[in-house]
Structure 1
Amino acid sequence: MKIKLYDIAHSRAGDKGNTLTLSLIPYKSDDYATLRDQVTSEAVRNHLQAIVAGDITRYELPNLPALQFVCQQALTGGVTTSLTIDTHGKSLSYALLEMWIDV
């Protein structure tokens, strides 16, 4: 069965220059293994391919439990130089949650 990430997780976004950080936190800690297995750097790259131009690095935080993705070249230059509406990338946490996974 396919579901969207927002069905089992929430996300937060942060920024530093042209780098976006996205956290992915399951509502229930039992779902962490599903997220760890399904939401890889490659899967996020494919999902956000029109937004993130650089590398995506995933960090596993099993004690929280959470995943963090550091996305390079994702904010069209960064807060002080970008002309986009969402220069901080806060709405990109919702873009991540639109990703489909298998459960």
Structure 2
Amino acid sequence: MITVPLWRAAHGRTGDKGNRSNISVIAWHADLYAPLVEQITDAAVATRFAHRRPSRVQRHLLPTLHAMNFVLDDVLDGGVNDALNLDSHGKSLSFLLLDMPLVLPASLAPLLRGPHTFSVHN
């Protein structure tokens, strides 16, 4: 098993409306989708964003696209236009999500993007 940041296995798309952030995670390869679904859960995302205190995190699976969409309520300091904190924008939050650790079978390493370095587990 290996551990890599999520961005090595998937890319993201974001949006924000009012005080809600919408973050999609799209696998780089179909074979990476199952581990994403298993590990990048609504609970894991809520924990990742605990410092932003989301009132709710919903995950919507899009298996045909090998993607999932997360809707995080009340994480944008009242809304992008009301917030003085530029880091609260949805695009900034997607980078935080894409840095989550992901544990994968070593056999999936050739499907990853980026440098060919990772942590190896027994």
TM-score above 0.5:
yes
Larger Cα-atom Rg: 2
The alpha-carbon distance between structure 1 residues 29 and 52, as it changes in their structure 2 partners (threshold 3 A), is: farther
Query: Aligned to 2:64, what secondary structure does the other structure show?
Result: coil
* 1:10-21 superposed matches below 5 A: 10-21=11-22
Equivalent-residue separation in structure 2 for 1:12 and 1:35 (angstroms): 15
CA contact (8 A) 1:52 1:71 kept: no
Aligned residues: 103
Structure 1 length-normalised TM = 0.93
Gaps of 5+ in 1: none
**Higher fraction of helix:** 2
Could you tell me which residue of structure 1 aligns to residue 113 of structure 2? none
Query: Aligned to 1:102, what secondary structure does the other structure show?
Result: strand
Note the C-alpha offset of 1:48.
1.4
* 1:23-42 superposed matches below 5 A: 23-42=24-43
Could you tell me which residue of structure 2 aligns to residue 95 of structure 1? 96
Could you tell me which residue of structure 2 aligns to residue 2 of structure 1? 3
Q: Once the two structures are superposed, what CA deviation does each residue of 1:28-78 show, in whole Å capped at 9, x if it has no partner? A: 111111101110001111111112421100000001110000000010000
Letter in 2 for 1:64: L
Note the C-alpha offset of 1:89.
2.0
The alpha-carbon distance between structure 1 residues 28 and 52, as it changes in their structure 2 partners (threshold 3 A), is: farther
Could you tell me which residue of structure 2 aligns to residue 57 of structure 1? 58
Give me the identity figure in percent: 40
Q: Structure 1 runs of 4+ off > 6 angstroms?
A: none
Gaps of 5+ in 2: 105-122
